[in-house]
Structure 1
Amino acid sequence: MTKDDIEWLIIQLIAEDNAMDADDLLEELAAAGQDLPVDSLLAAEVLTRVQEQVGAELPTNAETARALRSVKAFADAVWRLLPESHGEVATA
Protein backbone atom coordinates (compact mmCIF):
# COMPACT_ATOMS: atom_id res chain seq x y z
CA MET A 1 0.00 0.00 0.00
CA THR A 2 1.36 3.41 -0.95
CA LYS A 3 0.77 6.80 0.62
CA ASP A 4 -1.40 7.63 -2.39
CA ASP A 5 -3.55 4.57 -1.62
CA ILE A 6 -3.92 5.69 2.00
CA GLU A 7 -4.80 9.25 0.93
CA TRP A 8 -7.51 7.92 -1.38
CA LEU A 9 -8.86 5.64 1.37
CA ILE A 10 -9.12 8.61 3.75
CA ILE A 11 -10.89 10.69 1.09
CA GLN A 12 -13.30 7.87 0.30
CA LEU A 13 -14.20 7.31 3.95
CA ILE A 14 -14.69 11.01 4.66
CA ALA A 15 -16.82 11.35 1.52
CA GLU A 16 -18.87 8.30 2.51
CA ASP A 17 -19.53 9.70 5.98
CA ASN A 18 -20.68 12.99 4.47
CA ALA A 19 -22.78 11.55 1.62
CA MET A 20 -20.42 13.03 -0.97
CA ASP A 21 -18.74 11.73 -4.07
CA ALA A 22 -15.04 11.03 -3.34
CA ASP A 23 -13.89 12.76 -6.54
CA ASP A 24 -15.90 15.86 -5.64
CA LEU A 25 -14.42 15.88 -2.14
CA LEU A 26 -10.90 15.53 -3.54
CA GLU A 27 -11.54 18.48 -5.86
CA GLU A 28 -12.85 20.55 -2.95
CA LEU A 29 -9.89 19.70 -0.73
CA ALA A 30 -7.37 20.34 -3.52
CA ALA A 31 -8.89 23.78 -4.06
CA ALA A 32 -8.28 24.52 -0.37
CA GLY A 33 -4.57 23.68 -0.51
CA GLN A 34 -1.85 21.33 -1.71
CA ASP A 35 -1.89 19.31 1.53
CA LEU A 36 -5.63 18.70 1.17
CA PRO A 37 -6.60 20.41 4.43
CA VAL A 38 -9.56 18.85 6.16
CA ASP A 39 -11.52 19.53 9.31
CA SER A 40 -9.72 17.43 11.89
CA LEU A 41 -13.07 16.28 13.30
CA LEU A 42 -13.91 14.74 9.92
CA ALA A 43 -10.57 12.96 9.85
CA ALA A 44 -10.96 11.79 13.44
CA GLU A 45 -14.31 10.23 12.54
CA VAL A 46 -12.63 7.89 10.03
CA LEU A 47 -9.41 7.30 12.00
CA THR A 48 -10.46 3.93 13.43
CA ARG A 49 -11.62 2.61 10.06
CA VAL A 50 -8.42 3.72 8.34
CA GLN A 51 -6.35 2.04 11.05
CA GLU A 52 -8.36 -1.18 10.72
CA GLN A 53 -8.08 -1.26 6.93
CA VAL A 54 -4.34 -0.67 6.79
CA GLY A 55 -3.35 -2.51 9.96
CA ALA A 56 -1.58 0.38 11.66
CA GLU A 57 -2.52 2.20 14.84
CA LEU A 58 -1.67 5.85 15.35
CA PRO A 59 -0.72 6.84 18.89
CA THR A 60 -3.01 9.20 20.77
CA ASN A 61 -0.76 12.24 21.01
CA ALA A 62 -0.27 15.80 19.77
CA GLU A 63 1.56 14.65 16.62
CA THR A 64 -1.43 12.55 15.55
CA ALA A 65 -3.78 15.44 16.30
CA ARG A 66 -1.70 17.67 14.00
CA ALA A 67 -1.66 14.97 11.32
CA LEU A 68 -5.45 14.92 11.23
CA ARG A 69 -5.50 18.48 9.88
CA SER A 70 -4.79 17.37 6.33
CA VAL A 71 -5.30 14.25 4.25
CA LYS A 72 -1.64 14.20 3.19
CA ALA A 73 -0.32 14.48 6.77
CA PHE A 74 -2.82 11.87 7.97
CA ALA A 75 -1.78 9.48 5.19
CA ASP A 76 1.90 10.10 5.87
CA ALA A 77 1.47 9.34 9.58
CA VAL A 78 -0.29 6.07 8.77
CA TRP A 79 2.15 5.13 6.01
CA ARG A 80 5.17 5.59 8.30
CA LEU A 81 3.72 2.95 10.63
CA LEU A 82 3.45 0.29 7.92
CA PRO A 83 6.31 -2.21 8.00
CA GLU A 84 6.63 -2.23 4.20
CA SER A 85 7.05 1.58 4.12
CA HIS A 86 10.52 1.26 5.60
CA GLY A 87 12.98 1.04 2.77
CA GLU A 88 10.46 2.10 0.10
CA VAL A 89 10.66 5.39 -1.68
CA ALA A 90 7.81 7.56 -0.47
CA THR A 91 5.14 8.47 -2.99
CA ALA A 92 3.02 11.47 -2.59
Structure 2
Amino acid sequence: MFANQTSLEAEMSQAEIMELILELLADDAGRPVEELREELRVGGETLPVDSLLAAEVLARVQERVGVELPATAETARALRSVETFAGVVHELVLEAAAKRGISA
Protein backbone atom coordinates (compact mmCIF):
# COMPACT_ATOMS: atom_id res chain seq x y z
CA MET A 1 0.00 0.00 0.00
CA PHE A 2 1.33 3.45 -0.85
CA ALA A 3 2.07 5.82 2.03
CA ASN A 4 -0.73 8.26 1.25
CA GLN A 5 -3.17 5.61 0.03
CA THR A 6 -4.20 5.00 3.63
CA SER A 7 -5.38 8.56 4.08
CA LEU A 8 -7.11 8.54 0.69
CA GLU A 9 -8.93 5.30 1.48
CA ALA A 10 -9.92 6.68 4.90
CA GLU A 11 -11.75 9.46 3.09
CA MET A 12 -13.93 7.06 1.09
CA SER A 13 -17.60 7.45 1.82
CA GLN A 14 -19.98 4.53 2.14
CA ALA A 15 -21.39 5.47 -1.28
CA GLU A 16 -17.90 5.33 -2.82
CA ILE A 17 -17.26 1.94 -1.23
CA MET A 18 -20.63 0.74 -2.54
CA GLU A 19 -19.66 1.94 -6.03
CA LEU A 20 -16.32 0.10 -5.73
CA ILE A 21 -18.15 -3.10 -4.77
CA LEU A 22 -20.54 -2.72 -7.72
CA GLU A 23 -17.62 -2.13 -10.09
CA LEU A 24 -15.81 -5.23 -8.83
CA LEU A 25 -18.97 -7.35 -9.01
CA ALA A 26 -19.68 -6.14 -12.54
CA ASP A 27 -16.10 -6.78 -13.60
CA ASP A 28 -16.07 -10.30 -12.17
CA ALA A 29 -19.51 -11.11 -13.59
CA GLY A 30 -18.70 -9.63 -17.01
CA ARG A 31 -21.70 -7.31 -16.79
CA PRO A 32 -22.00 -3.54 -17.12
CA VAL A 33 -22.02 -1.75 -13.76
CA GLU A 34 -25.12 0.19 -14.86
CA GLU A 35 -27.00 -3.10 -15.22
CA LEU A 36 -26.10 -4.14 -11.68
CA ARG A 37 -26.95 -0.69 -10.34
CA GLU A 38 -30.37 -0.88 -12.01
CA GLU A 39 -30.93 -4.41 -10.66
CA LEU A 40 -30.11 -3.09 -7.20
CA ARG A 41 -32.47 -0.12 -7.61
CA VAL A 42 -35.36 -2.28 -8.84
CA GLY A 43 -34.85 -5.33 -6.64
CA GLY A 44 -33.88 -3.74 -3.37
CA GLU A 45 -30.52 -3.71 -1.69
CA THR A 46 -29.85 -7.43 -2.07
CA LEU A 47 -27.99 -8.72 -5.09
CA PRO A 48 -27.80 -12.46 -5.58
CA VAL A 49 -24.08 -13.22 -5.53
CA ASP A 50 -22.66 -16.72 -5.34
CA SER A 51 -20.25 -17.41 -2.50
CA LEU A 52 -17.17 -17.78 -4.72
CA LEU A 53 -17.77 -14.39 -6.36
CA ALA A 54 -18.49 -12.84 -2.97
CA ALA A 55 -15.19 -14.21 -1.61
CA GLU A 56 -13.28 -12.81 -4.59
CA VAL A 57 -14.90 -9.40 -4.26
CA LEU A 58 -14.36 -9.42 -0.49
CA ALA A 59 -10.63 -10.07 -0.98
CA ARG A 60 -10.33 -7.32 -3.59
CA VAL A 61 -12.25 -4.79 -1.49
CA GLN A 62 -10.09 -5.57 1.56
CA GLU A 63 -6.94 -5.12 -0.53
CA ARG A 64 -8.18 -1.91 -2.18
CA VAL A 65 -9.50 -0.27 0.99
CA GLY A 66 -6.84 -1.57 3.36
CA VAL A 67 -9.03 -3.19 6.01
CA GLU A 68 -9.73 -6.81 6.82
CA LEU A 69 -13.23 -8.02 7.53
CA PRO A 70 -13.40 -10.67 10.24
CA ALA A 71 -14.55 -14.14 9.18
CA THR A 72 -17.81 -14.11 11.13
CA ALA A 73 -21.47 -14.89 10.54
CA GLU A 74 -22.10 -11.12 10.52
CA THR A 75 -19.62 -10.66 7.66
CA ALA A 76 -21.27 -13.50 5.74
CA ARG A 77 -24.69 -11.83 6.19
CA ALA A 78 -23.24 -8.48 5.11
CA LEU A 79 -22.10 -10.00 1.81
CA ARG A 80 -25.72 -10.63 0.83
CA SER A 81 -26.36 -6.92 0.43
CA VAL A 82 -24.16 -4.47 -1.41
CA GLU A 83 -25.36 -1.65 0.83
CA THR A 84 -24.75 -3.58 4.07
CA PHE A 85 -21.37 -4.81 2.82
CA ALA A 86 -20.37 -1.22 1.99
CA GLY A 87 -21.55 -0.10 5.43
CA VAL A 88 -19.48 -2.72 7.24
CA VAL A 89 -16.39 -1.87 5.16
CA HIS A 90 -16.92 1.85 5.77
CA GLU A 91 -17.16 1.31 9.54
CA LEU A 92 -13.89 -0.64 9.48
CA VAL A 93 -12.23 2.10 7.40
CA LEU A 94 -13.34 4.72 9.93
CA GLU A 95 -12.13 2.60 12.86
CA ALA A 96 -8.75 2.00 11.18
CA ALA A 97 -8.41 5.71 10.40
CA ALA A 98 -9.25 6.64 13.99
CA LYS A 99 -6.59 4.25 15.27
CA ARG A 100 -4.04 5.87 12.96
CA GLY A 101 -5.19 9.36 13.90
CA ILE A 102 -6.59 10.14 10.42
CA SER A 103 -9.89 11.97 10.25
CA ALA A 104 -12.32 10.60 7.70
Band the TM-score falls in, shorter-chain normalisation? 0.7 to 0.9
Matched, 1:64 2:81: no
Match of 2:91 in 1: 80
- What is the correspondence of 1:1-92 to structure 2 with a 5 Å cutoff? 1-33=12-44, 36-40=45-49, 41=51, 42-82=53-93, 83-84=96-97
Larger radius of gyration: 2
Instruction: Tell me the number of residue pairs that the alignment of Structure 1 and Structure 2 aligns.
Output: 86
RMSD of aligned Cα (Å)? 1.9
Same amino acid, percent of matched pairs: 48
Q: C-alpha distance in 1, partners of 2:32/2:23?
A: 8
User: Where do 5+ consecutive residues of structure 1 fail to align?
Assistant: none
Q: Say which is worse superposed, 40-49 or 3-12, in terms of deviation.
A: 40-49
User: Where do 5+ consecutive residues of structure 2 fail to align?
Assistant: 1-11
